[in-house]
Amino acid sequence: MDRNKLVTMIEIAVMAGLAQILSVFEFGALWAYGGSISLVMVPIFLMAYRRGLKAGILTGLIVGILDLVMGATVVHPVQLVLDYPLAYAVLGLAGVMATKSEINLRRIMSGLLLGTSLRLACHFASGVIWFGEYAPDGWPVAWYSFLYNISYLIPEMLITAVVLVFLHKTSPSFFKHSASSIQGVTSVKM
């Protein structure tokens, strides 16, 4: 097995496991129907910046599946996909900001905004279609779903941003993208 492929696979597994551990330490008391604030997104974004698009998506997909297995609310198969594997896999799309050169803070923030916005879109669609019954009387379901989901995703995005900026300032070499790592995961079917 190619060394770069092996290293990338190990990093994906470690980061997915770390994300799952970080998701246990959450602030979720405010959201009665799901959603919480944790550091779960940090390892996914790190993989996307460090190893690229495919590794970031794969890490997010694994985290979503682990989250699903560890205790999920499932009302429909499509909702299951939207709220778990897809919602975390899209975070890995931040890997489009990873280039052969060193990643800068602008690229980190752009990727963070892209990934979090796509995760919001997944949870929003799920909320509109399957969880609209929880909307208060007189509230449009779309407005309720948007406000509910953004109420935990914005704080989680901001906390993730602080951690990523701190890591970039203290260990910028960690963000150096390895071009060969993209080739390392090409055999993984997505």
How does pLDDT run across 104-148, given as a tens digit for each residue? 999 999 999 999 999 999 999 999 999 888 889 999 999 999 999
Whole-number Å distance between alpha carbons of 129 and 177: 39
Q: Which residue has the tokens 């594997």?
A: 85
Whole-number Å distance between alpha carbons of 84 and 63: 8
Of the listed ranges 60-64, 71-75, 119-123, 166-170, the least confidently predicted one is 71-75
Q: Please give the share of the chain, as a percent, with pLDDT higher than 70.
A: 88
Range from 3-7, 83-87, 128-132 that averages highest in pLDDT: 83-87
Summarised one tens digit per residue, pLDDT across range 9-25 is 999 999 999 999 999 88
Reading phi first (left if > 0) and then psi (alpha if -120 to 50, else beta), residue 71 is in left
Better pLDDT: 82 or 134: 82
Mean pLDDT for the stretch of residues 62-68: 96
Q: Domain 3-25+39-182 maps to which CATH number in 1.10.1760.20, 1.20.59.20, 3.40.50.300, 3.30.360.10?
A: 1.10.1760.20
45 C-beta neighbours (distance < 10 Å), count: 29
Is residue 27's pLDDT more than 80? no
Whole-number Å distance between alpha carbons of 79 and 102: 37
pLDDT at 185: 46
